[in-house]
Chains A and B, each alone.
Chain A
Amino acid sequence: MGSLLQTIEVNKKFGGLAAVTTLNMDVQDGEIVGLIGPNGAGKTTSFNLITGVYTPTSGSIQFQGQEIIGMKPHAITRLGVARTFQNIRLFKEMSVLDNILVAQHMRMGTNVLEATLRLPSYIKKERHIHERARALLEEVGLSRHEQDRATSLPYGKQRRLEIARALATEPKLLFLDEPAAGMNPQESVELMDFILKIRDQFNLTIVLIEHHMQVVMGVCKRMYVLDYGVTIAHGTPEEIQNDPKVIEAYLGVG
């Protein structure tokens, strides 16, 4: 197993404000890694840096050994990096099915004339992505809602749709930004099982931001703790739990 993702000395400054300082993350193939820290610690910013939404001020980010800084988000997604958003970002006027289909556009390898003229080659691809989309919806238990408007779904199902949509891009590495936000303990347990299941089923590597400690400790083998943009600790759940710096950051002692 080699390094799938490596961030080396990554910094991000907004104006004079250092949002992320010397981020050194190393994610191995097949791992589930947690990213935790208090609000405003720079977790989502780190996601945005790795997925290309923001460009780092300095440093290097390598995915499968390839430098990805400067690449547009869609190009990074094409390499096999997918994500969900903290504040759900579904295609709100589109159906549940269409939300998944959009995410497969990139992998269809079609052109606008082929698609508009409905050439047989296009119809074949279209049939294929429909099948795959339906299978994914089945997987996340949203088959019944195929034709519903995405935003008409209840909150929990919107989160699952977002994950299914990310899976539709055929990622190797999946970033989940607070997947358990707003869930009750029962749902959180289900979510943990779900995360483990998709990891095995789709051969994924997963990085997740989560405040819900039960979830993080339950699924992550390793985690990074950020505070004010600085990585203050990194290790197994047990190591993190006993790290005085982490306790200080969370409880504000000192």
Chain B
Amino acid sequence: MDIQTFLQQFVNALSLGSLYALIAIGYTMVYGILRLINFAHGDIFMVGGYLAFYGVSAFLMPWWMAVIVAIALTTVFGVGLERVAYRPLRDSPRISIMISAIGASFLLENLAIVLFDARPKAFPVPEFFAANFVIGGVHIASVSLVIPVVTGVILAVLLWMVHQTRVGMAMRAVSTDIEASRLMAIDVNQIVSITFAIGSALAAIGGILWALKYPRLEPLMGIMPGLKCFIAAVIGGIGSIGGAVLGGLLLGVIELMTVAFLPELTGYKDAFAFILLIVVLLVKPTGLLGKNQGEKV
């Protein structure tokens, strides 16, 4: 192996890992607030991709406008989903709300098959993103540069928001103790909606970036990235934004580097995430950056 191949793989891994990180943040925020695995997160990601596609191909919008509209609509959609599918179950056993999330995911996938057609669609990639650079012998598609930048900016904004603003403070309060927050006159419903809005917007951005990177839309395209990013969030320590980013990057790097340097393991690529998940859960169940929470007896 030479340094050039290594750099090439590293750039690819960084870009994939950042994308995982972006989606993982959405999972981790929702889980932090509601202790809910939002199984439908991957499907919201898919909806974001499709909406951008229709914006460009059916409504003939310029790509930047299609992206903005898609993000906005997906955000509204995610907030609506929480209202309909999760809010009525907030005080139910955790298993019920998880089943509802699975149902929502199932429903979105099947609706997508009905509405968008099961056949894959080619996503129109604007020239700007398709451009290829060669730096020191390393080929870089511009989208591979855009992704880490977008993730970095979003991470910075979110960390600022969570730690410096009133809304962020309320979010942290709700995630620590939902009942106490209610008593402190925090509008819990509003905070949950804001969290879902942010999570869904991130899923939409992730979906669009994914489609720019792998320009092929399918109704079930959200399942695997969705699961992997949830795993990334768990590995990093669910509930922690920094952890989600760490987990996403780690997963991206491990996945691509293993395939690059141990090609005989390529067939097992989709199992890496799960194996990593199980190892982390058994060794450090709270994830790399997570805090310990036990049941009080």
Contact with A along B280-297 (1 / 0, CB 8 A): 000000000000000001
Contact with B along A47-63 (1 / 0, CB 8 A): 01000011000000000
Complex contacts, B297 vs chain A, CB 8 Å: 44, 48, 53-54, 85
Residue of A nearest to B292 (CB): A15
C-alpha spacing A48/B297, complex, angstroms: 8
- Counting chain B residues whose Cβ lies within 8 A of the other chain, the interface size class is under 10
Q: Which A59-106 residues have a C-beta within 8 angstroms of B?
A: 85
Name the distance in Å between B91's Cβ and chain A's nearest Cβ: 16
Complex contacts, A53 vs chain B, CB 8 Å: 297
C-alpha spacing A85/B297, complex, angstroms: 8
Complex contacts, A48 vs chain B, CB 8 Å: 297
Complex contacts, A54 vs chain B, CB 8 Å: 297
C-alpha spacing A53/B296, complex, angstroms: 10
Residue of B nearest to A85 (CB): B297
Contact with A along B143-177 (1 / 0, CB 8 A): 00000000000000000000000000000000000
C-alpha spacing A54/B297, complex, angstroms: 9
C-alpha spacing A48/B294, complex, angstroms: 14
Name the distance in Å between A50's Cβ and chain B's nearest Cβ: 13
C-alpha spacing A54/B296, complex, angstroms: 11
Name the distance in Å between B131's Cβ and chain A's nearest Cβ: 52
Q: Which B251-297 residues have a C-beta within 8 angstroms of A?
A: 297
Residue of A nearest to B295 (CB): A53
Residue of B nearest to A54 (CB): B297
C-alpha spacing A118/B137, complex, angstroms: 75
Complex contacts, A44 vs chain B, CB 8 Å: 297
Complex contacts, A85 vs chain B, CB 8 Å: 297
C-alpha spacing A53/B297, complex, angstroms: 8
Residue of B nearest to A177 (CB): B297
Name the distance in Å between B246's Cβ and chain A's nearest Cβ: 23
Contact with B along A15-51 (1 / 0, CB 8 A): 0000000000000000000000000000010001000
C-alpha spacing A85/B296, complex, angstroms: 12
Residue of A nearest to B294 (CB): A14
Name the distance in Å between B145's Cβ and chain A's nearest Cβ: 43
C-alpha spacing A220/B297, complex, angstroms: 25
Name the distance in Å between A82's Cβ and chain B's nearest Cβ: 15
Name the distance in Å between A27's Cβ and chain B's nearest Cβ: 21
Name the distance in Å between A92's Cβ and chain B's nearest Cβ: 11
C-alpha spacing A180/B297, complex, angstroms: 18
5 residue pairs A–B, Cβ–Cβ below 8 Å: A44-B297, A48-B297, A53-B297, A54-B297, A85-B297
Q: Which residues of B contact A (CB under 8 A)?
A: 297
Nearest 5 CB-CB pairings of A with B: A53-B297, A48-B297, A44-B297, A85-B297, A54-B297
